[in-house]
Amino acid sequence: MTTYDAGEVTLEKVREYVWEIPREGGMRVPARVLASEKLLDEISDDKTLEQLKNSAHLPGVRKHALCMPDGHQGYGFPVGGVAGIDAEDGCISPGAVGYDINCLSGDTEVQLSHGRRIPIADLATRFEGEQAMVAGETITRSPIQLFTASGEQPVYEIETTTGRRIEATADHPFRTPDGMCPLNELEAGDEIAVRPFRGLEDEDPHGRTILTEADFADQHPQLVRALSQRGLLPLTTADESFHRLLKLVGFFTGDGSFGGEGQTWFYGDPTDLEQIRADVREIGFTPSKVYSRERSHDIEGKTFERTEYSFKTTSKALRLLLRKLGAPVGKKIESGFTTPWYFEHLTNWQKALYYSAYFGAEMSAPAAQHEKTLYCPKVSQNRTMETADAGRAFLRDLTTFLEDIGIETNAVEAFETDSNANRDVVRLRVGVKNNSVNLVRFFSTVGYRYNRSKQRKSAIAIQYLKTKGREIARREAIATEARTMADGGISIGEIKSAFEINERFIERSIWSGRSGRPRPGSEFPSFEEFRASCEVAEDMTIREGIVSIEPLGRKPVYDIGVEHEAHNFLANGFVVSNCGVRMLTTPLEYDDVRGHEEELVNRLFEAVPSGLGGGGVFEGTVEDVEAILERGMDWALEHGFATEADLEHCEDEGYRPEADAGVVSEKAKNRGKTQVGSLGSGNHFLEVQRVTDVYREDVAREFGLEAEQIVVLIHCGSRGLGHQVCTDYLRKIEQTHGDLLAELPDRELAAAPAGSQLADEYYRAMCAAINFAWTNRQLIMDRTRDVLTDVFDVRRDDLELLYDVAHNIAKKEVHTVDGEDRELYVHRKGATRAFPAGRPELPPAYADVGQPVIIPGSMGAGSYVLRGGERSMAETFGSTAHGAGRLMSRTQAKQEFWGEDVRDDLRERQQVYVKAQSGATVAEEAPGVYKDVDEVIRVSDALGIGERVARTFPVCNIKG
């Protein structure tokens, strides 16, 4: 075979395992793929070749744009891609190092905490400190840890059966019944998860002070001190605690009471009370357990028993604060309470916190008045004649709020009721008008807080009313078209046959006339029938069918990342979805470890923090992070986490002198200060392995490897800090060098011209992130040494670092190009440096044998240790593969594999013990997700860019 047809791309065979895409169009150099035909079949199955061609357009790219044998589709630049770009007249590209794609159009509304929503583009300058709503086991909030913005990308619009719409890029993931799935794998008829509740538009609460210590001057100083110590005095309208207090006061107004000895009681369903207890704890007070007792009731002569659930707090300070904030004192029927005095200073979404909690306690739940018509949700109060005016004022304020946000209400009604023994009583009532559009607006923007039963029913009601509205609109369109056809002289028979609908409906539409819109047909389900078939998940999401997916052209797109392990957030009501390696050698043999695998994996999992978010071996200050960024492994040595020998066996001795903490953002540093010494998530892992095969005994001896030896592989990077560095500079480059981006075929290649201020700053920031990554892996290795010396009879001095090599970087290196030595930015995205013997950059221990190259495989196929090949400098800028290379996306992996099954199968069939933060993580990294690592290594070895030394196989593995 002399050519390979990959659809729109044809590759020409240069020699065995070397395929070339000739220059065409704006390509500055040819592109080369290093692969066997088997691997090429897999590489050509996605956008890898297109991205490789695009990378050949980068200014200053020399010789060839390259794809290693493990190559697969990335963002802009393929994973497994290598490019040498002139450091004088070329560019440096964060996109060719690695970053996350942006995927939602700018007007997509993200749901934030406290029932707010905001266009995603508006989060650009304020995402720090914000919390997005996440659909996990339940609906919850999670800090937003990153924001990315990009230029225009092709976007598509999804429309669902109820008319819900969202615009996203083709690879943006959506939650389906089978897990997260990218848009380009969805089609009409598929189901996706939506949350019917939308919330209200976000507004700035301005932080007006409403309570200070002066407002408590007549109270015991101890009570005032208790509030001040909890950050509740002074209290402003922007305080997080204030928002929780609004909900508590609202619910208390409906279903709370004050008792003796400072007691404050809340009554409700046990599950709902747990939410209220959580908010009480969040503002600094201790709630009691939930109590239950049997109560007898007599209503209009009917007696019945029911269980009453409640909890209390005994803090006099909290009770005093709630009273100051407008909680009714004494019997509500005669207390004279009205709307809290500070409401004139609140935004609508803040008022909704109070009212939705009150509605959760007091308003009637969605229910059918007739088969296909819902009741008007109502709230009522009993008041004495003396306090009736206060009650009317309270309800008028309530209706004014609802009308301000576009929700119509009925007039406040008053009814005579039985008078009690002491005074006359009047019953006041108001309701939300029950036309469908009005009810949907109410249920989806205000609804019921602290009441999951009513929330569940309102979610179903929204879906029902929207479905009903779509059906009425369909029938109305048919009626209009039928009349038009009749006016045009078409016979009634032909008209009837043109539509799939009851013939009587056509006749009435043409001849009888109809006042108003048509009703849904008899076959349309009643609310109760719909409710019985509509499943609401614990996170209050509902499955909804896709009607269409249509291209919309190119638009600017954005993305956010949350800390929550669910990796999703709510956008327009849809649920959408978020290195390097070293090897430690030991004197242990496989027989020494057998029988201790489970203990070992558990101990390592406890010792090494993993998963998304914060938590590391070392949690310091921003100043500590700056020292790590500037000094790398030297910092670890000074603080007792490393030895001199560790530095000697690390690429660049674990230190990039160009690093500059001053060009790393405070956001990146703050993310890094809680993550030093942590694995993170994704494909990062710590794996105990045994050496199963030795191919070059002479080289293996120099590397300290022998058959059946136990080694430890650590694969992770610079965590959130490095991601933030990339995000920060992508944004700056897009703003400053848009002219260069406009010349490139893909804006995801985002590059800054060599010699520009941004190119220099990004390089110094990236070097700082490399220092951080080396230190991160070093602290993990230090913890690993602790575990191994504790579990086995080994000395720390005998646990030696073989080598640490960086992935996903751009480094200034001197290479021969067209017979001249030139300084290049060598971009390696998912590729490994593989220098042969004799290069001055190598540590003395390996100067005569070549650089160790560590290639992780999958959990079921093993890994490899190579050495830098003699041909690597001429062929690949001193590079080779960095892993097996993915065959399928993480979303597809979770659809194909079940984490617990993968874990059990590895343990039973291959005696590999795996532990992870979640089953989904294991599924994402299942052996079947990856290419054949043996084939990847065979090609690397045959080409002489990375020569086989030894093969290892997992014993136990921990993943983030």
206 labelled as ligand-binding? no
Residue 75 has pLDDT above 70, yes or no: no
Return the amino acid letter for 247. Answer: K
Q: 555 — phi, psi (to 5°)?
A: -145, 155
705 labelled as ligand-binding? no
What is the predicted pLDDT for the residue at 567? 65
Say if CB 349 and CB 338 are below 8 A apart. Answer: no
Q: Which of 37-41, 317-321, 512-516 has the highest mean pLDDT?
A: 317-321
Beta strands in 331-377 (DSSP E): 368-370, 373-374
Residue whose C-alpha is closest to residue 760's, from 632, 659, 669, 627: 659
Say if CB 914 and CB 901 are below 8 A apart. Answer: no
According to DSSP, residue 773 is labeled H
Return the percentage of the chain with pLDDT > 70, whole number: 93
Average pLDDT rounded to a whole number, residues 534-547:
94
Residue with tokens 């720390």: 796
Residue 612 has pLDDT above 70, yes or no: no
Q: How confident is the model at residue 35 (pLDDT cuts 50, 70, 90)?
A: very high
Verify cis geometry, omega within 30 degrees of 0, for the bond prior to 234.
yes
Q: Of the ranges 208-212, 389-393, 466-470, 746-750, which one carries the lowest mean pLDDT score?
A: 746-750
Say if CB 831 and CB 74 are below 8 A apart. Answer: no
Q: Between residues 512 and 587, which one has the greater pLDDT?
A: 587
According to DSSP, residue 779 is labeled H
What is the predicted pLDDT for the residue at 189? 94
737 labelled as ligand-binding? no
Contacts of 473 (CB under 8 A, 6+ apart): none
What is the predicted pLDDT for the residue at 154? 83
Q: Between residues 878 and 144, which one has the greater pLDDT?
A: 878
According to DSSP, residue 649 is labeled T
Element (H, E) at 636: helix 633-638
Secondary structure class of 820 (helix, strand, coil) = strand
What are the structure tokens assigned to 43, written together?
């590489």
Say if CB 915 and CB 909 are below 8 A apart. Answer: no
602 labelled as ligand-binding? no
According to DSSP, residue 256 is labeled E
Residue 879, number of CB atoms within 10 A of its CB: 29
686 labelled as ligand-binding? yes
807 labelled as ligand-binding? yes
Q: How confident is the model at residue 119 (pLDDT cuts 50, 70, 90)?
A: very high
- DSSP bridge pairs for 116: 112, 200
Span 262-277, pLDDT tens digits: 999 999 999 999 999 9
Return the amino acid letter for 93. Answer: S
Sign of CA dihedral 441, 445, 447, 451: positive
Element (H, E) at 622: helix 622-631
What is the predicted pLDDT for the residue at 614? 52
Say if CB 450 and CB 269 are below 8 A apart. Answer: no
Q: How confident is the model at residue 152 (pLDDT cuts 50, 70, 90)?
A: confident
Residue 102 has pLDDT above 60, yes or no: no
Q: How far apart are CA 608 and CA 841, in angstroms?
A: 31
Contacts of 100 (CB under 8 A, 6+ apart): 75, 146, 148, 559, 561, 578, 723, 727
Q: Are strands 173-176 and 179-182 parallel, antiparallel or unpaired?
A: antiparallel
Say if CB 176 and CB 544 are below 8 A apart. Answer: no
Q: 349 — phi, psi (to 5°)?
A: -70, -25
Span 564-578, pLDDT tens digits: 656 678 888 877 653
Q: Which of 390-394, 722-726, 885-889 has the highest mean pLDDT?
A: 390-394
What are the structure tokens assigned to 303, written together?
């007696």
687 labelled as ligand-binding? yes
596 labelled as ligand-binding? no
Q: How far apart are CA 68 and CA 70, in angstroms?
A: 5
Q: How far apart are CA 597 and CA 603, in angstroms?
A: 10
Contacts of 536 (CB under 8 A, 6+ apart): 456, 459, 460, 542
Return the percentage of the chain with pLDDT > 90, whole number: 62
Secondary structure class of 423 (helix, strand, coil) = coil
Q: Of the ranges 424-433, 446-455, 597-606, which one carries the lowest mean pLDDT score?
A: 597-606
Cβ burial of 198 (10 Å; 0-12, 13-18, 19+) is buried
Residue with tokens 């011209």: 753
Contacts of 18 (CB under 8 A, 6+ apart): 32, 33, 34, 875, 943
Secondary structure class of 842 (helix, strand, coil) = coil
Residue 411, number of CB atoms within 10 A of its CB: 10
Residue 300 has pLDDT above 90, yes or no: no
683 labelled as ligand-binding? yes
182 labelled as ligand-binding? no
Report the predicted TM-score, pTM, of the whole model to 2 decimal places. Answer: 0.61
Average pLDDT rounded to a whole number, residues 346-357:
98
Q: What is the 3-state secondary structure (H, E, C) of 708-754?
A: CEEEEEEEECCHHHHHHHHHHHHHHHHHHCHHHHHHCCCHHHCCEEC
In the chain, what is the straight-line distance between the N-terminal and C-terminal CA atoms, in Å?
43
What is the predicted pLDDT for the residue at 101? 44
Say if CB 769 and CB 818 are below 8 A apart. Answer: no
Q: Of the ranges 405-409, 416-420, 524-528, 938-942, which one carries the lowest mean pLDDT score?
A: 416-420
Residue with tokens 């558990």: 602
Return the amino acid letter for 22. Answer: P
Say if CB 946 and CB 853 are below 8 A apart. Answer: yes
Q: Between residues 425 and 930, which one has the greater pLDDT?
A: 425
363 labelled as ligand-binding? no
Residue whose C-alpha is closest to residue 104's, from 576, 569, 557: 557
What is the predicted pLDDT for the residue at 150? 59
Using the CB atoms, write b or e for 131-160: b if 16+ within 10 Å: bbbbbeeebebbbbbbbbbbbebebbebeb
Average pLDDT rounded to a whole number, residues 537-552:
94
Q: How far apart are CA 263 and CA 319, in angstroms?
A: 7
Residue 821 has pLDDT above 70, yes or no: yes
What is the predicted pLDDT for the residue at 100? 41
What are the structure tokens assigned to 368, written together?
């059918």
Say if CB 772 and CB 724 are below 8 A apart. Answer: no
CA angle 725, 889, 562 (to 5 degrees): 40
Average pLDDT rounded to a whole number, residues 616-630:
89
Span 507-536, pLDDT tens digits: 888 887 666 788 888 899 999 999 999 999
Residue with tokens 């327009």: 572
Q: How far apart are CA 707 and CA 697, in angstroms?
A: 10
808 labelled as ligand-binding? yes
Residue whose C-alpha is closest to residue 68's, from 54, 57, 82: 82
Beta strands in 540-655 (DSSP E): 542-562, 569-571, 574-576, 580-589
Average pLDDT rounded to a whole number, residues 602-611:
84
Residue whose C-alpha is closest to residue 851's, from 835, 840, 863: 835
Q: Are strands 946-959 and 913-916 parallel, antiparallel or unpaired?
A: parallel
Q: Tell me which residues are annotated as active site.
A: 882
Average pLDDT rounded to a whole number, residues 740-759:
87
Count CA within 13 A, CB hemisphere, residue 516: 4
932 labelled as ligand-binding? no
Q: How far apart are CA 474 and CA 523, in angstroms?
A: 14
Which domains, ranges and CATH numbers included, belong to the chain?
Answer: 104-195+539-576 (2.170.16.10), 209-445 (3.10.28.10), 452-533 (no CATH)
Q: Of the ranges 78-82, 134-138, 349-353, which one carries the lowest mean pLDDT score?
A: 134-138
What are the structure tokens assigned to 432, written together?
């939300």
What are the structure tokens assigned to 69, written together?
């044998």
Average pLDDT rounded to a whole number, residues 803-830:
91
Contacts of 924 (CB under 8 A, 6+ apart): 682, 683, 890, 893, 894
234 labelled as ligand-binding? no
Q: Of the ranges 10-24, 107-121, 177-191, 463-477, which one carries the lowest mean pLDDT score?
A: 177-191
Q: How far apart are CA 754 and CA 737, in angstroms?
A: 12
Q: How far apart are CA 452 and CA 360, in angstroms?
A: 9
- DSSP bridge pairs for 81: 67, 829
Residue 261, number of CB atoms within 10 A of its CB: 8
Return the amino acid letter for 746. Answer: D
What is the predicted pLDDT for the residue at 578? 38
Using left for φ > 0, alpha for ψ between -120 and 50, and beta otherwise, residue 632 falls in left
Residue 823 has pLDDT above 60, yes or no: yes
Q: How confident is the model at residue 757 (pLDDT cuts 50, 70, 90)?
A: very high
Q: Between residues 46 and 320, which one has the greater pLDDT?
A: 320
Torsion of CA 250, 254, 255, 257, to 10 degrees: 80
Span 713-723, pLDDT tens digits: 998 877 778 87
What are the structure tokens assigned to 431, written together?
């309701």
Residue whose C-alpha is closest to residue 943's, from 848, 885, 879: 879
172 labelled as ligand-binding? no
Q: 103 — phi, psi (to 5°)?
A: -145, 0
Q: Between residues 441 and 915, which one has the greater pLDDT?
A: 441
What is the predicted pLDDT for the residue at 147? 73
Mean pLDDT of the chain: 89
685 labelled as ligand-binding? yes
Q: How far apart are CA 352 and CA 446, in angstroms?
A: 6
859 labelled as ligand-binding? yes
